[in-house]
Every structure is written in C-alpha cells, then in structure tokens.
Structure 1
Amino acid sequence: MEENIILQIKSKLNDLSKAEKKIGEYILLHSVETVNYNTNELAQKAGVSPATIVRFCRSIGLSGFSQLKIRLYADASGVDEDLYTDITPNEDVSLIAEKLALRFNQSISQTANHLNKTRIEEVTKLLDSCPTIYVYGIGASHVVAEDFTQKFSRIGKTVVNMLDHHLLSSSLINAGEQSLFIAISNSGETNEIIKLTQIAKQRKLHTIGISQYENSTLAKLVDYPIIHHGGEAVMLRSAATTSLISQLFTIDMLYYAYVNKNSKKIMNMLKESKISIQTFFHKENS
C-alpha cells in the first residue's frame, strides 16, 4: 500500500536533520517543479549539498532521488495544491472532505506499511492465553479502548475497561496471574497511562502499549510496544483525527489477526450469540 509522498514528507519533517529539513520544506512548496530538477539543481535551489539530497531520500524511506521524482509526479502533478495545506477557516465543505479523506487514507497506509507484523502475531498469542484483559485510554484514546472492549468482549474475552483511573488501579493491584494490561496513548506520555502501566508492571502483569512514538515513555516501559503511524501534528489539533484513525486501524488489525487464528471457534460463538440475542429481543418485543 503506497503512501502519499507529500504527506509522507510532512509527517517526517520534524525528524530530519536541519539540512534535510530545508529540502523537505522546499519540496513541499515546489513539488511540481522538483520533478523537472536533477540532483544538483535541487541542491542549489534548496541551498544544500547534492549528498544531502541522497540522505534526505533515505531518511523518508526512499531508495534515491529517482524514486522521489516518480512519487512526486504521481502524487503532486495535476492535483490541487490546496489539498495538501492545513484546514483553514471559511473553507468549502467539499474541500474539507477531500482533505480529510486524503489524510485518513495516508494514515491507514502508513500504519499498514509500518506495523510490526511479528509483534502483532506475538500479541495475538498473548490475547489468547490471558484470562482477563485490562484496557485504558483517556480522551480520544478512550474511544479506542471502548472499541477494543466491544470487539473482544463479544468473542468471549473478559475485558475490563474503566475511565476512572483510581478504580482501575485498584483492579490492577488485585488482578489475577497472567492478566494483561493494554495502555493506549498517542503521545505515549500521558501521566495516568504511565502510572497505571507502572502499577501493572509492579504486579507482574503482561503489558502492551499502543502509541505513535517508539521512543515514548510508554513504548519503552511495556513488554510489547505496538507503534502505529499516520498522526499529523499540525492537523486539526482541536480534536484527534488522523491519530484516532490510526489507533482504530491498529485495534482492527489485532482483532482480525486474533479471529483468524481462532476462526472456527469464534465464528460458531458469533452465530450462537446472534441467534440468542435475536430470539430474546424478538420475544420481548412480540
């Protein structure tokens, strides 16, 4: 699943060196023109050395300048440049919809491409063996925790999800052996998340952290960090958007990987529960 190169550059901009960042900023302002430059011409335009161009391409995950030009031609040529700018006041609703769709697709592509598939397999086995799963997220991450709870509860897993972190800490302290704690935080630095994870670690629970940043406190603290991608720091920070989509996609990956490993058992369980619920409510409403 190929990512949009314009948004890929934007998402990695703050992780680049000073010289590489100059190239990225220049390309974002002159994406169409860059397609027609050679390495020396782009280096001169951006005020860097040709060697920095090569390093820049590798830093954003490309093999070289030729691949950069191909991706720029495919993603930038003939496309309204307004789509790549941040949402601003008084914009047409249709343009807002296009921008959000572009960024959501990019977030899902980045997460799908960069998720550690081996880690997903490891966590799937862990989910199967743990008798009780505790999950916590605050703010927008609580929506993700609710989604995890809804999905795994309906296939027979015992999931404890509390918004009150004091109450949850008491539950973690008294949790049984082999229980699992899943902490969800986009930044990986949320104070309540870190404290609860520390409690879970002290009680020798298995711990999973879902975050965007592999160097975050949460990712370093847990047994199994799951790193999603696609959150854009400048995009509508009055509310979680791309980061929320990436987190929900990650939960879906865990869910379907788990179902895939236990498909016969779970399919039978879902059929039986559907029939029971339909029968029960049909009788009540008749």
Structure 2
Amino acid sequence: MILEENIILQIKSKLNELSKTEKKLGEYILQHSVETVNDNTSELAKKAGVSPATIVRFCRSIGLSGFSQLKIRLYADSSAVDEDLYSDITPNEDVALIADKLALRFNSSISQTAKYLDTGNIEKISEIIDVCTMIYVYGLGASHVVADDFTQKFSRIGKPVVNTLDHHLLSSALISANDHSLFVAISNSGETNEVIKLTEIAKQKHLYTIGISQNASSTLAQLVDFPIIHHGGEAVMLRSAATTSLVSQLFTIDVLYYAYVNRHSQKILQMLKDSKINIQTFFKENS
C-alpha cells in the first residue's frame, strides 16, 4: 500500500504548473491551511479572492477529487506535522530539524513518484532489457550518481553496461552500437545539453531509448521511446530539492531493477548468491 504524499508539499510542488487564479488560491491555502479546513466553498472563495469554480479546478489540478478530499488531507497533514517542517533548510538549523525536514520531503517525493509512475512503461522496458545485448547509460552531476547505481545493479546480474562521463567517448560507442542496444538518459530537468545530444545520436542509430526526468514536458521526455517521470519536490532556496530529486531517481532505478529481476527471479537470485560467494572467496582476508 502506497502512503499518500503530504498535501502541503504536494500543493507547493504543483504551484508553478497552475493557472494564475489557481496559484493564487494555492498560495492562500498554504498560508491558511488550518483555517481552510473549517471553510465551505463559498467562504474559501471569498477569502482567497477567487471563484468557487476555481476551487474545483484547483483540486483537480493537484490530483484530488474535490474540495472535501482537500479538507480531509489538510486536516490530517496540518495537525500531524509541525509547520516549521515545510520550510527549507536555514542557516544554523538544529540537526534534528534538518533530519525531520528531509525525511518529510523524501517520503513525499517517493510516495508521489510511486503513485504516478508509468508501470506499463516499466514492464515494457523490462522486456527490452531482456533482449538487449548492450546498455549505455549517461547522466551528469547528481544524475551521474544515478547512472552509477544503474550500472552497479544491472552489471551484477550479467547485463553489459557502458557508463562514462566522457560524452565524446560515449557518442562514439553509440554510433557503433548494434540494433539490440539500449540507451538510458538521466536528467532531472530533461534539458541537459549533453544528454539531449547523446539521445539524438541513439535515436538516429535506432537504439531503444529511455529518459528518466522530473519534467514530463521536457525535451528529453518528448524525445525518448519510454519516458520515466519521477517527482522531485518543490523548488527551494538551498539543496534539499536537488537531494529529494536524487532520491526519487534512485527509487525509480530500484523499481526498474526489481521489475526486471522479478522476470527471472530464480536465475538472478542464484547468480547473486554465486557472486557473493566468489567475492568472499577471492577477497577474503589472509588469516
């Protein structure tokens, strides 16, 4: 069972995608979440300076069925969580509060990623990985950490993976790749220049392409055969949003990995067991 994401963070993450009047309403609700729980539609519309129809559209835009569900979620989240947790990390912050803030964002980002993940695409990608003789993966910055995680996971179960930060070297490899190859492009924004160029090369060579991004309307998501969209949290002043997007990307890789493992569970589990035994044998400390 997937836990619901925190409604306060959910509203914050959607603000920039809303219409002008919906954003106005969202900002009002964020500032008056407790008060909103006790309002009816007409009262909230008057206080926020919007129409009752805007409230209906706002609820649908953030993924809720209606105002009643919004009030229930606001009551549950506003009463259970300290308001200070919704702000970004600030200078001289107490370490315990930093941990609580990040935990709240991690839980929200992962829950929303799981909720909206295109499982149909994940299943199709698992089938493609089955028939691919080579996988190429690329990501810059924090996304390179995700590319390394992908490489480590799939290499351990016998899938050949090429992963390098040298985009010139990787472009040469893609040009000479055979038709049964897969290119995995990772970019939180979906607009990283090197990622887009490498994806275009992979497309020209008729390779299967996957794009892991936070933005469904990004260049990368529109370019690849199979976009995988994750949730990365709202924009904030410091780096907590970048951190939560990284966690969401790693979670997405885990889902893809276990979906593939599930297709060959007995074979792969034996392979992992043998690998562990061999490593312990060859690298055991001398007594």
Partner Cα distance (1:3, 1:238) in 2:
17
Tell me the distance in 1 between the aligned counterparts of 2:66 and 2:271.
Answer: 50
The sequence identity of aligned pairs, in percent, is 79
- Answer yes or no: is 1:20 the counterpart of 2:27: no
- Alignment match, 1:136: 138
1:198 partner SS: helix
Matched residue, 1:190 = 192
Number of the residue aligned with 1:31: 33
Report what 2:286 is aligned to: 285
Please report the TM-score for the alignment, with normalisation by the length of structure 1.
Answer: 0.97
Amino acid aligned to 1:285: N
The answer to whether the 8 Å contact 2:149/2:250 transfers is yes
8 Å Cα contact 1:132-1:159 kept in structure 2: yes
Cα deviation 1:15-64 (Å, max 9, x = unaligned):
01111111100010111111111111110110001111111111111111
2:65 & 2:240 partners in 1: Cα distance?
36
* Alpha-carbon offset, residue 233 of structure 1: 1.9
Aligned counterparts, 1:225-236, within 5 A: 225-234=227-236, 236=238
| Offset of residue 184 of structure 1 | 0.2
- Measured after TM superposition, the shift of residue 231 of structure 1 is 3.1
User: C-alpha offsets along residues 88-115 of structure 1, whole Å, 9 cap, x if unaligned?
Assistant: 2222111111111000000100000000
Query: SS at 1:66's partner residue?
Result: helix
Structure 1 stretch displaced more, 238-247 or 122-131: 238-247
1:128 partner amino acid: D
Distance 1:268 1:160 in 2: 24
The alpha-carbon deviation at position 175 of structure 1 amounts to: 1.1
Which residue, out of 200, 216, 219, partners 1:217?
219
| CA root-mean-square deviation | 1.3
Map 1:117-196 → 2, pairs under 5 A:
117-196=119-198
Aligned partner of 1:73 in structure 2 is: 75
For the residues of structure 2 that align with 1:60 and 1:118, how far apart are their CA atoms? 23
Would the alpha carbon gap of residues 49 and 238 (structure 1) be closer, same or farther in structure 2, given more than 3 Å must change? closer
Match of 2:202 in 1: 200
Where has structure 1 moved over 4 Å in runs of 4 or more? none
Partner of 2:275: 273
Q: How many pairs were matched up?
A: 285
CA distance, structure 1, for counterparts of residue 240 and residue 279 of structure 2: 40
Q: Alignment partner for residue 257 of structure 1, among 234, 256, 259?
A: 259
C-alpha displacement at 1:268, in angstroms? 1.1
| Contact 1:106 1:230 survives alignment (8 Å) | no
Matched residues in 2 for 1:235 and 1:179: separation?
Answer: 40
Contact 1:232 1:243 in 2 (8 A): no
1:239 CA displacement: 7.5
What code does the residue aligned with 2:286 have?
N
Whether 1:89 and 2:63 are equivalent positions in the alignment is no
Cα shift at 1:234:
1.7
Contact 2:105–2:233 (CA<8 Å) still a contact in 1?
Answer: no
- Corresponding residue SS for 1:189: coil
Name the aligned partner's letter for residue 23 of structure 1.
L
CA drift of 1:238 comes to: 8.0
Give the structure 1 partner of residue 113 of structure 2. 111
CA displacement, residues 222-261 of structure 1 (integer Å, 9 cap, x when unaligned): 1111111133222624882111011000000000001111
Structure 2 distance, partners of 1:231, 1:163, is 26
User: How much does 1:78 deviate?
Assistant: 4.9
Structure 2 SS opposite 1:88? coil
Q: Distance in 2 between matches of 1:190 and 1:183?
A: 10
So what's the TM-score if we normalise by structure 2?
0.96
- Structure 2 runs not aligned, ≥5 long: none
| Amino acid of the structure 2 residue aligned with 1:73 | Y
Does 2:241 align with 1:242? no
